[in-house]
Amino acid sequence: MEIKASQVKELRDMTGVAMMECKKALVECDGDIEKALDLLRSNSALKAEKKAARVAADGVLRVFVGDEYSTLIEINSETDFAAKDENFIKFADDVQEFISNNKLTDVADLKESEIEDKRKTLVQTIGENIQLRRLESIEYSSEMNTSSYLHSDSKLGAIVVISGGDDSLAKDIAMHVAAFNPLCLSESDIDPQILEREKAIYMVQAEESGKPKDIMEKMIEGKLKRFLSEVSLLSQNFVKDPEVTIQDLLDTNNAKIESYTRLKVGEGIEVETKNFADEVAEQLK
């Protein structure tokens, strides 16, 4: 039967799927839009499952700051090109709206929501693996000051909650957290395993120096002290004024950090890199 352009457009508007895919679905379903819609949904789920194994290390972050909670979420694509696609951006905006209306503590909760259907449809539309990788939420009381920082490319962000001070101070510290990526709030909060690993490295370095034992111990102690000051948020030099530490900044403003979180797109994902010759050779096989 003849499929009208208006039918294709209607199905396209409903699903966001490419025009040719919509037309094929309508032809297969004899022009029945509801059946074609179900077929496209089924196909999008299948394509999403097939592409799920492909590495998605690019993408964007979206953040919501509310009166009682804030959420930072990582939305991944395989390429930066896809992350700039208007359909991907619309999906990211839909995710942001959803987290602004729903307090979530686990990214897995989104798999049971309307967002999961939109994600599967987007996979079919763009042709890349799209994933909701990580989500960080912080709850707080209304008298606390909360702010976020999101870098201009939307790939690096942070949320900071403080008591005392004001929103401007919270935003400055959020910018600092995003830039400096502290491992802990204070030196006493450092993960013991991380500290032991660093100490082991410094011990090897000290032994290789051939110095006397008492000198080696001072070398190790000095390096550990410097490491702790560099990775502990309160000890770090403020990004906007390296002459003061974050603790100095808080004391000046009679404030205290209650909690913070930070995400960077693709952080921790191993991406296989190939040179041009390898790619050509692989294509010729």
- DSSP-derived secondary structure for 91-111: HHHHHHHHHHHS--S-GGGGG
pLDDT band of residue 236 (cuts 50, 70, 90) is very high
Lowest mean pLDDT among 13-27, 95-109, 234-248: 13-27
pLDDT at 32 over 90: no
What is the tally of helices (H) and strands (E) in the chain? Answer: 11, 8
- Cβ proximity of 133 and 223 under 8 Å: no
Give the start-to-end residue ranges of the domains of the chain: 5-49, 58-179+254-264, 192-228
CA distance 205 to 219: 9
Tokens coding 54 = 């492909």
CA distance 228 to 236: 9
Asked if CATH classification 3.20.20.30 holds for the domain at 5-49, the reply, yes or no, is no
Mean pLDDT of 71-87: 94
CA distance 219 to 83: 47
CA distance 28 to 30: 6
Lowest mean pLDDT among 221-225, 264-268, 276-280: 276-280
At 140-174, the pLDDT tens digits run: 999 999 999 999 999 999 999 999 999 999 999 99
Q: With pLDDT > 70 as the criterion, what percentage of the chain qualifies?
A: 87
Model confidence, pTM: 0.76
CA distance 132 to 111: 9
Fold that domain 58-179+254-264 belongs to in CATH: Tetrahydropterin Synthase; Chain A (3.30.479)
Q: Give the contacts of 79 (CB within 8 A, at least 6 positions apart).
A: 58, 128
CA distance 221 to 51: 49
Burial class (CB in 10 A: 0-12, 13-18, 19+), 272: exposed
Lowest mean pLDDT among 13-17, 26-30, 32-36, 50-54: 50-54
